Structure 1
Amino acid sequence: MVFIRVLFIFIFLPASAIVVASVRSEIPLEKNWFFIKNDGISSNEVPLPTLRWKQVTVPHTFNRDDAADGGGYYRGPSWYKTSFTLKTKQDERTFIEFGGAAISADVYLNKKYVGRHQGGFSRFRFDISDFIKPGENELNVRVDNRKFDHIAPLWGDFSIYGGLYGGVKLIKTSVVHIDLLDYASDGVYVHTKEISSSSAAADVEVLLKNSLQEAAAIEVVVELNDQDGRIVSRVSKPFNVAAASSLKTIVPITVRQPRLWNGVIDPYLYSVKVRLFKQGKRVDEVVQHIGFRNITFDPKKGLILNGSPYKVYGVNTHLTQRPEKGTAVTSKDLKEDFEILDELGLTGIRLAHYQHPHYIFEHANKKGYLIWAEVPLVSEVNASDEFIQNAKQQLRELIRQNYNHPSVFVWGIGNEIYKADADANRVVSIIHHEAVKEDPSRPTVYANCCGPVTAPIANHSHLNASNIYNGWYKDQTGSMLEWGRAAHAAIPNRPLAISEYGAGGSIYHHELPPQLPETTGMWHPEEYQTLFHKRAWRDLKQMDFLWASFIWVAFDFASDGRSEGDQYGINDKGLVTFDRKTKKDSFYWYKANWSKEPVIHIESKRYRERTSAVTDIAVITNLHSVKLYLNGALVSEQPALDHEVLWSGLRFKAGKNIVKVVGDNGTASDKAEFVLIGAEHSEQ
């Protein structure tokens, strides 16, 4: 076995999910916002209140209605404003947190410039303690989602919605607190030194901030609890923090007989309390969830989790998009998305092609999903110092804000850079080395496309992965299995994954038997998408050497430059429609293969109107056998072969026909209605 990297991780949920009323408070700023597009307004001038502002609620995007119609969408500056009244004390500091603002944001408080953030997908914070005044405070934010040559991404196959899409809140802390300004992380990093079945040892790194003009004697207490709330470790250590300064502190902890975080098999989480005391008084506290796990990668066996081979299969996602909302999604929306994804029975998720909301990581921690988290280095790069510095900044935000999640198992350092020249190779190499410096415990990976697995651009990272669309795009010929075996033979000592595979599919387009369509055309029959995924998964099951495979993509998503399928501006390769209302047949194919729940699903239900009286009916299932009834009469019971049952030569009557299928022992059933039209020609 080739040893690539060992990950022994203590993991926490971000402080944004925790409210400790006595020492730290959070005040959401959601309502009473006003918005105006910045047409003709100077970029360094806060707009006059007499202009026509529109009242909105944050999260908000100004591209909700134009980024998914194929007609082009507004990319430019806009302004947001609100006001708040906040009582402050001398022994407090106040921070403002933005969950995300695409793609550049300038913040003003009471007409004074607070700061700028460049990067559209990560959270960011400012200390606004010195900007707050008694009484009402006016907050203005200028957001700009234009293409900037020095901000990643330069472009990508997805719409870049502008606005304050991630929510805004105030955070009040003591003047002595756990630092909130380390790239908007939670200021706590846990580094495991060793782990075994009998014990684990780790250093809990806590970043202390003293805003006083005098030194502060601080006691840091770290308490670890198991899932039942029992204390398994408690350590206290004193530190002296100089006036108006920060201090990196280390508190070692040990755990006897740790229970491992073991993916979907047993996603066991501990909890830890990090408390600060000054003169015996608690001044700050953060409660987190953590986990322990060990991952290695083997070129022949794939991923090894806690000593055993572990299959990672799942989906790519653009979870931060919805019709009627754009990227202004809420935790409620994300919860609904995961109710769908959880149903699939997946074990991994690739968060493409940028940082995603913390809710997703938290849910993955609890469910045991392994997460590929990625920096927005996609499609195009330039090698300017400004661009590289911005890419490094966004990488640090990605890693430091998500450093301790047990779900995160690789850092994605780039995707499909089409011009893989010397500049692109230099940038990818730099980002790889920066990721190693930030987190030596996790491997890096690059999603390669349009070139061999031996290409230089694919080999700066620790792991190799490719976006493969054999059976969809006509320039990618042969089966996925043929590609996989050839790729494995070309790089036998490098762990290999398939980072993307998929095909378009419209729930309004139907064809039997399905033929490969013009992929850039307006005809994408759902039946061909299903056929593609049947072939793909059957090939993937034969490639034990893969460390992961991810479908492109979970949900249809906005890509305004596309003009294909049944709707302009949409990439329709999703297993589920953009509005989340319809699960395509391919969704049930994977559910039948991955989930333990009984699955029985009639294919091509939406192909309701038929012109031939003689037809085939295919059923996707994970049951042993299926009975089929046509218009109330039992046709036959057949065994399932590789999750599929096929009835050939069924005869419909003119008009309505009811097909019902029932699984063995009545465990599950499905029903569909078909209408035979033009019956006089049905025998041909």
Structure 2
Amino acid sequence: MIKLNKYLLLLLLSVTFFSANAQLVQNIFGRKHISLNGRWNYIIDPYEMGYYDYRHEPFDQTKSGKGGFYDDREQMNKSELIEYNFDLSPTMKIPGDWNSQVEKLQFYEGTIWLRQKFIANPATDKKYVLYFGAVNYEAHVYLNGKKLGVHKGGFTPFQFDVTGKLKDGENFVVVKADNTRKQDEIPTVNTDWWNYGGITRDVLLAELPSDYILDYKVQLSRSNPKQIEGFVKLSNAAAGQTVTVDIPEAGLKTTAKTDASGIAKINIPVKKLNLWSPENPKLYQVSITSATDKVDEKIGFRTIETRGQDILLNGKSIFLRGISMHDENPLIQGRLRGEGDMRMMLQWAKELNCNYVRLAHYTHNEQMNRLADEMGLLVWAEVPVYWTISWENPNTYQNAEKQLSDMIERDKNRAAVIIWSIGNETPLGEPRFKFMSKLADKVRELDQTRLVGAALEVHRKGFNVIVDDPLGEKLDLVSFNQYGGWYWELPKELSKYKFDIKYNKPVIITEVGGDALAGYHADEDTRWSEEFQESLYKHQIPFMNTMSGLRGMTPWILTDFRSPRRQHPFFQDFWNRKGLISETGKKKKAFFVLKDFYDQTAAKYK
């Protein structure tokens, strides 16, 4: 009974820490803040000596809460025993993963402690939020030696209210980052991308008024394109507070009162708007004000819907000329480090004549979606419910739902985002169907202005390529991956096959392609050659065009990317070579085949 009580206590403590994560402040980068990016000291801790004592009890869950690396202790006398020292430890750039910055950490999976010192001068009448854009995967966060909380999920933002916890002068924040893969997590142990560990996105300390604008959504109604609707949520949950939404260029302005939960619903009749589209990525300056706060934002307005086998953008049929991409720089190892890296990737997509990108297989950087808004690229946004996970574990589902909800909450004002994807290549089965169906329902609960998708799998019977997944009933699109010409059959044999699709919905091919080592040339029958990949695209395009409902595709993938799964010592060397662009930025021959098809398709859909 003593052991049971102890473990129940630890569980309650972990739940308390997890729930301490405050609701995300919308547009945190638009608020007054200081950046905590830069050089952070780090300590490699494979045995987690800085977290557990020799009995494997967590230091931060003892009565004193002391003893871990998060205390950042300084030696007070020459006899004192301290077995770590952040000041004497090396540094790494944050944001940035550890695998690409330190050679001995290339394949490291485990715990690393990171510390940053900063100066703060907190005002008594302000609120303060410590924000992390992403930490992979499990993050324990401490401020001045006190635990703020825990966050799981390597690609979604989180933050903590640190009002009253900051010192006037020097402060320090310590993060225990652990990128260990686990069966019951999201994603699970088996993926096909590099498991970059660490603090991979921005860290900042934001200053807010004591009562502030917490959240808002300002979008065109899906059912009525003559109406802007949404809400503004204030941090003070009280009725009768006035909020104003002003779009000066459009001559639109409205005021509304909050209900008892601090939420004011907005409805603005629209006479004329310059609608956002890839050809016309118009963004309006939107100002949201309350009695004590103001937020400025750039928002585009558009509608997206399906009708039969058509996808309608602003009421007009569109073909999604897309490409998939990872959050990785092929030229410099590691995650995309900032706007320059992201703009480079999106510009390559534009050179391919894309109007659409699939940001796979997890939530990408917020800045990527803002750039897509600016550059005119529609977006498929996805959560890492990938391959086979623990479908019957309720905690796994809650984790997936939280990552999905955080993605939607963060990016719900981005006109570029038109599809929320709930997963990739998940296998048929009743537990999986229930799991994925609940995620689809959650999307519709949170956002009625966009489409719901998932990258399904195909099955073959004879010369039929069959798409018959019960999850298709819950989706707006028939979206699936198919690798004819690479994992099954040769490219020149694809004409023998036909698609057998159960649903009368728009078809989006979410993945198609094959590998080629840039610069390796041979005939079209020689695997790994640029000519083989070129031939695959030449045969796949007419094969896919046999589907009457084909309304878009995102071939796999824009650039070669790193993956420990890819073992061939010459052709792969830990690279997935399905990119149309190599790790040196060279466009392979297949790039131009796809571009020619997109040029022709763009002319047809003018």
- Give the TM-score taking structure 1 as reference length: 0.74
Compared CA separation, residues 62 and 456, structure 1 to 2 (3 A): same
User: In the alignment, which of 484, 491, 495 is matched to residue 470 of structure 1?
Assistant: 484
Aligned residue runs from structure 1 range 142-161, under 5 A: 142-154=176-188, 155-161=190-196
Aligned residue runs from structure 1 range 181-196, under 5 A: 187-190=215-218, 192-193=220-221
Task: Answer with 130-139 or 393-402: which moved more.
Answer: 130-139
Q: What is the CA-CA distance between 1:334 and the residue it aligns to?
A: 1.0
Compared CA separation, residues 464 and 240, structure 1 to 2 (3 A): closer
Aligned residue runs from structure 1 range 292-307, under 5 A: 292-300=301-309, 302-307=310-315
User: Which residue of structure 2 aligns with residue 236 of structure 1?
Assistant: 255
User: Which residue of structure 2 aligns with residue 73 of structure 1?
Assistant: 107
Moved >6 Å (runs of 4+): none
**In structure 2, distance between residues paired with 1:547 and 1:411:** 17
Compared CA separation, residues 386 and 475, structure 1 to 2 (3 A): farther
User: Which residue of structure 2 aligns with residue 63 of structure 1?
Assistant: 99
8 Å Cα contact 1:97/1:170 also seen in 2: yes
Compared CA separation, residues 364 and 259, structure 1 to 2 (3 A): same
**In structure 2, distance between residues paired with 1:400 and 1:476:** 43
User: In the alignment, which of 315, 334, 342 is matched to residue 350 of structure 2?
Assistant: 342
User: Which residue of structure 2 aligns with residue 38 of structure 1?
Assistant: 45
User: In the alignment, which of 559, 563, 571 is matched to residue 559 of structure 1?
Assistant: 563
**In structure 2, distance between residues paired with 1:533 and 1:477:** 8
8 Å Cα contact 1:575/1:584 also seen in 2: yes
User: In the alignment, which of 299, 303, 314 is matched to residue 322 of structure 2?
Assistant: 314
Task: Answer with 402-411 or 324-333: which moved more.
Answer: 324-333
User: Which residue of structure 2 aligns with residue 650 of structure 1?
Assistant: none
**In structure 2, distance between residues paired with 1:440 and 1:204:** 11
**What amino acid does structure 2 have at the position aligned with 1:346?**
C
**Percent identity, aligned pairs only?**
26
Q: Please say which structure displays the higher CA radius of gyration.
A: 1
8 Å Cα contact 2:92/2:98 also seen in 1: no
Confirm or deny that 1:497 pairs with 2:508. yes
Compared CA separation, residues 259 and 583, structure 1 to 2 (3 A): same
Task: Answer with 302-311 or 121-130: which moved more.
Answer: 302-311
- For 1:403-450, what per-residue CA distance to the aligned partner results, in whole angstroms no more than 9, with x for missing partners? 1211111111111124x3322222111211111211133231121125
User: Which residue of structure 1 aligns with residue 165 of structure 2?
Assistant: 131
Structure 1 SS opposite 2:123: coil
User: In the alignment, which of 267, 272, 278 is matched to residue 252 of structure 1?
Assistant: 267
Structure 2 SS opposite 1:399: helix
Aligned residue runs from structure 1 range 172-571, under 5 A: 172-179=207-214, 187-190=215-218, 192-193=220-221, 200-210=226-236, 218-225=241-248, 230-239=249-258, 247-261=262-276, 263-277=277-291, 283-300=292-309, 302-322=310-330, 324-327=332-335, 329-382=337-390, 383-418=392-427, 420-451=428-459, 452-474=466-488, 485-487=498-500, 490-511=501-522, 513-517=523-527, 524-541=528-545, 543-564=547-568, 566-571=571-576
Structure of higher RCO (CA pairs closer than 8 Å, 6+ residues apart): 1
Structure 2 SS opposite 1:388: helix
Confirm or deny that 1:26 pairs with 2:23. no
Compared CA separation, residues 194 and 455, structure 1 to 2 (3 A): closer
8 Å Cα contact 1:191/1:205 also seen in 2: no
**What amino acid does structure 2 have at the position aligned with 1:407?**
A
User: Which residue of structure 2 aligns with residue 82 of structure 1?
Assistant: 116
Structure 2 SS opposite 1:531: helix
User: In the alignment, which of 110, 133, 155 is matched to residue 121 of structure 1?
Assistant: 155
Task: Answer with 102-111 or 230-239: which moved more.
Answer: 230-239
Unpaired runs of 5+ in structure 1? 1-12, 19-23, 180-186, 278-282, 518-523, 597-621, 623-684
Q: What is the CA-CA distance between 1:388 and the residue it aligns to?
A: 0.5
**In structure 2, distance between residues paired with 1:595 and 1:34:** 49
**What amino acid does structure 2 have at the position aligned with 1:465?**
S
8 Å Cα contact 1:66/1:73 also seen in 2: no
**What amino acid does structure 2 have at the position aligned with 1:97?**
Y
**In structure 2, distance between residues paired with 1:72 and 1:86:** 35
8 Å Cα contact 1:66/1:74 also seen in 2: no
User: Which residue of structure 2 aligns with residue 583 of structure 1?
Assistant: 587
**In structure 2, distance between residues paired with 1:209 and 1:430:** 29
Q: What is the CA-CA distance between 1:510 and the residue it aligns to?
A: 1.3
8 Å Cα contact 2:220/2:303 also seen in 1: no
8 Å Cα contact 1:354/1:376 also seen in 2: yes
**What amino acid does structure 1 have at the position aligned with 2:581?**
V
Task: Answer with 319-328 or 304-313: which moved more.
Answer: 319-328
**In structure 1, distance between residues paired with 2:239 and 2:436:** 43
- For 1:163-206, what per-residue CA distance to the aligned partner results, in whole angstroms no more than 9, with x for missing partners? 00112111101011011xxxxxxx1112544777xx72223311
**In structure 1, distance between residues paired with 2:161 and 2:472:** 40
Compared CA separation, residues 589 and 160, structure 1 to 2 (3 A): same
8 Å Cα contact 2:110/2:179 also seen in 1: yes
- For 1:385-410, what per-residue CA distance to the aligned partner results, in whole angstroms no more than 9, with x for missing partners? 11000001001011111112111111
- For 1:329-368, what per-residue CA distance to the aligned partner results, in whole angstroms no more than 9, with x for missing partners? 2112112222222211101111111001122211222233
**In structure 1, distance between residues paired with 2:347 and 2:491:** 36
- For 1:470-529, what per-residue CA distance to the aligned partner results, in whole angstroms no more than 9, with x for missing partners? 11113588866665x523xx4252332211001101113210x32052xxxxxx111111
User: Which residue of structure 1 aligns with residue 14 of structure 2?
Assistant: none
**What amino acid does structure 2 have at the position aligned with 1:58?**
I
Confirm or deny that 1:15 pairs with 2:41. no
Structure 1 SS opposite 2:264: strand
Structure with more helix by fraction: 2
Q: What is the CA-CA distance between 1:25 and the residue it aligns to?
A: 0.9
The alignment covers a number of residue pairs equal to 539
**In structure 1, distance between residues paired with 2:330 and 2:338:** 10
Structure with more strand by fraction: 1
**What amino acid does structure 1 have at the position aligned with 2:479?**
A
8 Å Cα contact 2:360/2:382 also seen in 1: yes
Compared CA separation, residues 350 and 30, structure 1 to 2 (3 A): same
Structure 1 SS opposite 2:594: helix
Confirm or deny that 1:99 pairs with 2:133. yes
